[in-house]
A and B are shown apart, each in its own frame.
Chain A
Amino acid sequence: MALLEVDNLQVEFATDRGIARAIDGVSFEVNEGETLGIVGESGCGKSVTSLSIMGLIPRPPGRIAGGEIRFAGENLTRLPEKAYRKLRGSDISMIFQEPMTALNPVFTIGNQISDVLRRHKGLSRKQARARGIEMLAEVGIPAPEKRIDEYPHQLSGGMRQRVMIAMALSCDPKLLIADEPTTALDVTIQAQVLELIKKLAADHGTAVILITHDLGVVAETCDRAAVMYCGKIIEQGPVDALFEYPRHPYTAGLLASVPRIRPDRLPRLPTIPGIVPDLLDLPRGCRFRDRCGQALERCGQFDPELNADNDAATVAACFNPNPVVTA
């Protein structure tokens, strides 16, 4: 049994124009000590997936319309709020994209870390402070015994993100969800933070879900990845195979359009024509059909399911996937 099993998850939001199904039958697993990347373009449902696991979907307008989220075997979609609150910050922790919104500006860093430790670990004030300083040191904050008494605005963006990581890890969670943890950071600082997440996950055996739209970050940090499009996972598998032999045309298109440093300048960047369809006005059949260069007749009639092909290392939801390449 995997630590986390998301099984046919469906999440809906009520909007002025109707019910938007933001997540439509998403399934994946994360094992202990494993790092799963979730990638996809803006609005495809990455954050809604992670908020569902955290039990933080705003209700209304949102609701989990179907499926199960099992953590260590227990179905979280039925968990009462009180039990959920206990789970969050102890067994499951989350790091958000913008650390400034997650840190409280009127309390010192020390207050905020101690608070978590006292609530979830039952430490005394003094113990919590000592442990807080240790945590700050572990995430590489210089002079932690001084920094602990500072307010969030006194820290740089990179340091704030480290503080968030320290807080998220302070209770030794079994599962860490990091939603775009480095998007707001510069590349050199991003490199520091990713190293840190990798190292901590390895040292503590934590399972990590890393959500990002940056395929480069996934390639360097994750064991497996799931690619989302319009509320569905359209391909998933081990990172090596997924990046080298993408089977779904969207995965292939996405990988090709990432600008990368190359010895010779390409005259034109490869693109995916068209735009993502509106959730409230989805095309019939495959959601990628309007933009797909290899669509077949039945792509307009039926919705492809994630399908394992015996020879392929990844599973793709596509009627006409790229051929399996065996190395």
Chain B
Amino acid sequence: MSTPLLRVRGLTKHFPVKGGVLRRTVAQVKAVDGVSFDIERGKTLGLVGESGCGKSTLGRAILRLHEPTEGEVFLEETDVTAASGSELKRLRRNMQIIFQDPFASLSPRRTVFETLREPLDVHRIGTPAERRKKVEELLEVVGLRRAVLHRYPHEFSGGQRQRVGIARALALNPKFIVADEAVSALDVSVQSQVLNLIDDLQSEFGISFLFISHDLAVVQHISHQVGVMYLGKLVETASAGDLYADPKHPYTQALMSAIPVPDPKAGSERIVLSGDVPSPMNPPSGCPFHTRCPAAMPHCSTIEPRMQNLGSEAQPHWVSCHLYGDTPQADNSAD
């Protein structure tokens, strides 16, 4: 088997919380806590989970927009976490990000042309004439007319702005793109246009995506693999088919049942979770989900479950929950 395009191992990002008059670090927000996964070439890993569970932080830590506290990231053979200087610059060409808010992520004072030419300038790609040609090609790829070249972001609709954001991410022919809630701010009819575009680009250029979204239906559509995050940790990962057909983790099951479906006859058997998401500053002991889990058992509050593969070697289905596998022993819980 070929090596995956991206390998993430034990990635951790803690943010210090400062307090008191001396602004000393009084606590740590464990935004991302020991996350591991692979993404194959030309494939998409979808990442879901509630607000604040660490999805964006994970995406940024991979790109080193946040310095990881611990763990490793490999893009093909290159250790991203150890790279610096010219090597990091080269890596950055290959790893791009598309943000949620296309308005906030584009400079209001730059025309589309200036925005799209900038990465080419920074990386000194081609002559000015070639850069111009490349920008025009990019517009065509994302389905914008050449007439928009000299317009400013405020003159565009949300869907058009998001297309500009995607064109910018594509400018340097990246191998890997983090799409962080890239379609969440868009209306459904525009959202489906942009999702189809992302799909086309993937088939055409073989790009791998980490696709972050809180919308499970969007994630199912776009992803090959899906990971579910809760309080900084992955709690379940599987192929999109397996995860949606047979969610194992009680949190995944609750998430799935909470999605409103546009069919009045659907008759939802909803698992309404009680309580709010706990603070990542002070995550619960044992299983992080035990404070809201409808299936929690006494030992769930003391022993942290580990990832176990309930699928096969070829088609893994990773879950961290005490409902599966052997009953844990208190003595093997500490690492």
Contacts and interface: CB of A to CB of B under 8 A. Distances in A.
Contact of A215 (B157, B160, B262, B274): B262
Contact of B187 (A41, A156, A243): A41
Given A254-B188, A257-B192, A271-B189, A216 B261 contact: yes
Given A41-B188, A271-B193, A272-B189, A260 B258 contact: no
B244 interface: yes
B221 A259 contact: yes
A244 interface: yes
Interface in A226-246: 239-240, 243-244
B260 A157 contact: no
Contact of B221 (A220, A240, A265): A265
A111 B332 CA distance: 51
Given A191-B272, A266-B221, 15 more contacts: A41-B187, A41-B189, A42-B187, A186-B214, A187-B214, A188-B50, A188-B254, A188-B258, A190-B260, A191-B273, A195-B270, A254-B188, A259-B215, A263-B245, A265-B221
A254 B190 CA distance: 10
Contact of A220 (B50, B214, B261, B277): B261
Contact of B260 (A192, A217, A276): A217
B216 interface: yes
Interface in B112-164: 157-160
B189 A254 contact: yes
7 contacts: A213-B188, A215-B262, A219-B261, A240-B264, A240-B265, A244-B263, A270-B192
Nearest to B292: A188
B191 interface: yes
Interface string B189-208: 11111011001000000000
B196 A271 contact: yes
A72 B270 CA distance: 36
**On chain A, which size bracket covers the interface?**
35 or more
A199 to B, nearest CB: 11
Nearest to B224: A265
A189 B268 CA distance: 16
B214 A269 contact: no
B276 A260 contact: no
Nearest to A215: B262
A257 B188 contact: yes
B161 to A, nearest CB: 12
Given A188-B273, A261-B216, A219 B192 contact: no
A1 to B, nearest CB: 27
B220 interface: yes
B215 A219 contact: no
Given A259-B221, A261-B220, A269-B195, A214 B245 contact: no
B259 interface: yes
A83 to B, nearest CB: 37
Interface string B261-298: 11111101010111111000000000000000000000
A272 B315 CA distance: 36
Contacts of A41: 187-190
Given A157-B51, A261-B216, A187 B259 contact: yes
Contact of A265 (B240, B256, B258, B260): B240
A282 interface: no
B218 interface: yes
B51 A271 contact: no
A243 B221 contact: no
A126 interface: no
Nearest to A41: B187
A195 B190 contact: no
A54 interface: no
A216 B262 contact: yes
Given A195-B272, A243-B263, A269-B196, A259 B217 contact: yes
* B187, B199, B217: residue with the most chain A Cβ atoms closer than 10 Å: B187
Given A186-B50, A215-B262, A254-B189, A268 B196 contact: yes
A275 B262 contact: no
Contact of B258 (A187, A215, A255): A187
Contacts of A42: 158, 187
B222 to A, nearest CB: 9
Contacts of A202: none
Contacts of A186: 50-51, 214, 277
A259 B188 CA distance: 8
A45 interface: no
Interface in A151-183: 156-159
Contact of A261 (B187, B217, B275): B217
B217 A260 contact: yes
A56 interface: no
Contact of A213 (B160, B187, B216): B187
The 7 closest A-B pairs by CB, nearest first: A216-B260, A269-B192, A41-B187, A215-B262, A259-B217, A272-B189, A257-B192
B255 interface: yes
Contacts of B193: 271, 273
A137 interface: no
Contact of A216 (B199, B218, B256, B259): B259
Contacts of B160: 275
B259 A261 contact: yes
A192 B265 contact: no
Contacts of A66: none
Interface string A206-219: 00000001111111
Contacts of A156: 276-277
Contact of B244 (A195, A215, A261, A266): A261
Contacts of A218: 262
Contacts of A300: none
Interface string A253-295: 1110111111101101111110110000000000000000000
Contacts of B216: 187, 261
